[in-house]
Amino acid sequence: MSDQAVSALPGAEATGLVTVREMGLQGMVTLRADLSAAARAVQRVTGAAMPGVRRIEAGKGCSVAWMSPDELLILCDRAGADRMVFDLTEALTGQHHVAVNVSDARAMFALEGAPGGLRDVLSKVTPADMGALVPGEMRRTRLAQVPAAIWFEAEGAARVICFRSVARYVFDVLAMSARPGGAVDYH
């Protein structure tokens, strides 16, 4: 059954100053709760410490990103997302919260290339300071005309999340920014 499931832009890839690639199906869970009260439960389920403001923490086969003072985004295996919701809901019994599977609501892209060039490509479409963004920090911002979240897995490897419906737009915008001939050599 699940082999019929498709991500927003299966196989989309563009190469230029950096490569832009749609990452396929990705598990995502939104959790809203009092984060300090939920820290223990979150750690038990994900293995990750409660991330600080704008941080991403790695857990057991997943990572946990701080989205707002009362919201986390848990990135996990697509097949495990429903289980993640179930486990969180269980662990947070008696605590006011909402946990929902949002895996299909979004698209995720990998951008890979030279660290400076990668920051340059992103700087063409976001007002956020890409020079100040360090691995382990997630910046929610505007990407061209839509909201997005950007972070570096490592130097030279960025991730971008946007809503599924604008996946084509975001891919086209990133591919355009990465077009050869547009090197800026700023970062």
Partner 1 sequence: MLVLTCPYCGVAACETELAPGGEAHLKRFGPGSSDEDFEAYLFLRPNVKGVHFERWRHAMGCGKWFLAARDTATLEVFGTYRAQTSAPPPEIVAAIQAKRPDWSLT
Partner 2 sequence: MSTRLPTGGRLIDRTAKIAFTFNGKRLQGHPGDTLASALLASGQTILGRSFKYHRPRGVVASGAEEPNALVNLGRGPTHEPNQRATVTELFDGLTATSQNHWPSLEWDIGEVNAALARFLPAGFYYKTFIHPRPFWKHVFEPFIRQSAGLGKAPDPKHQDPDRYEHFYAHTDVVIAGGGIAGLQAALEAGRAGATVILCEQTAHWGGRAPVDGVEIDGQPAEDWINDTVQALEGMENVHLRLRTMVAGVYDHGYVIAYERVTDHAPDPDAPRHRLWRIRAGRIIAATGALERPLSFPGNDKPRVMLASAMRDYLVNWGVSPGDRTVVVTNNDDAYRTALAIKAAGLDVPCIVDARETADGPLVQEARARGIRVLTGMGIANVKGLRGVVAVQLGRQAGEGTVVEDVVCDAVAMSGGWSPVVHLWSHCGGKLSWDAAGAFFRPDPDRPPTNQHGEGFVVCAGAADGALHASETLENASTTARKTLASIGKLAPDAAVSKATAAAEAPLAPVWIMPQGAGPKKRAKMWLDFQNDVKVSDVQLAAREGYESVEHTKRYTTLGMATDQGKLSNINGLAVLADALGEDIPRVGTTTFRPPYTPISMGAIAGEARGAIFQPLRRTPIHGWHEANGAHWEPVGHWRRPYCFPRKGESHRDAVNREITATRTSLGLLDASTLGKIVVKGPDAGRFLDMLYTNMMSTLKPGKCRYGLMCSENGFLMDDGVVARLDEDTFLCHTTTGGADRIHAHMEDWLQTEWWDWKVYTANVTEQWAQIAVVGPKARAVLDKLGADIDLSDAALPFMAWAEGRIGGIDARVFRISFSGELSFEVAVPASLGRAFWDKLLEAGAEFGATPYGTEALHVMRAEKGFIMIGDETDGTVIPQDLGLDWAISKKKDDYLGKRAQERAHMTDPARWKLVGLETLDGSVLPDGSYALAEGVNENGQGNTQGRVTSTYYSPTLGRGIAMGLVLNGPDRMGEVITFNTTKKTVKGEAPKTVQARIVSPVFYDPEGEKQNV
Q: Which is nearer to partner 1, 11 or 127 (CB)?
A: 127
What is the rounded CA–CA span in Å between residue 38 and residue 109? Answer: 29
What is the rounded CA–CA span in Å between residue 130 and residue 142? Answer: 12
Query: Judged by CB under 8 A, does residue 142 bind partner 1?
Result: yes
Stretch binding partner 1 (CB under 8 A), from 9-17, 92-100, 136-144, 179-187: 136-144
Secondary structure (DSSP) of 31-80: EEE-HHHHHHHHHHHH-PPPP-TTBEEE-SS-EEEEEETTEEEEEE-GGG
User: Smallest gap, in angstroms, from Cβ of residue 47 to partner 2?
Assistant: 23
Asked if 97 contacts 15 with a C-beta cutoff of 8 angstroms, the reply is no
Choosing from 49, 110, 128, 157, the residue that interacts with partner 2 (CB under 8 A) is 128
Choosing from 23, 54, 123, 153, the residue that interacts with partner 2 (CB under 8 A) is 123
Q: Mention every residue, 6+ apart, whose C-beta is less than 8 A from residue 21.
A: 12, 13, 14, 109, 110, 111, 112
- Say which DSSP state 165 is in: G
Phi-psi region of 94 (alpha: psi -120 to 50; beta: other; left: phi over 0): left
Choosing from 101, 136, 149, 151, the residue that interacts with partner 2 (CB under 8 A) is 101
Interface residues for partner 1 in 38-67 (CB under 8 A)?
53-54, 67
Query: Judged by CB under 8 A, does residue 139 bind partner 1?
Result: yes
Choosing from 11, 94, 127, 180, the residue that interacts with partner 1 (CB under 8 A) is 127
Q: Which three-class secondary structure state does DSSP give residue 176?
A: helix
Query: Which positions lie near partner 1, rule CB under 8 A?
Result: 53-54, 67-69, 71, 127-128, 139-142, 147
| Chain residues that interact with partner 2, rule: CB under 8 A | 1, 4-8, 25, 30, 32-33, 70, 96-98, 100-106, 120, 123-132, 144-146, 163-169, 172-173, 176-177, 179-182, 184, 186
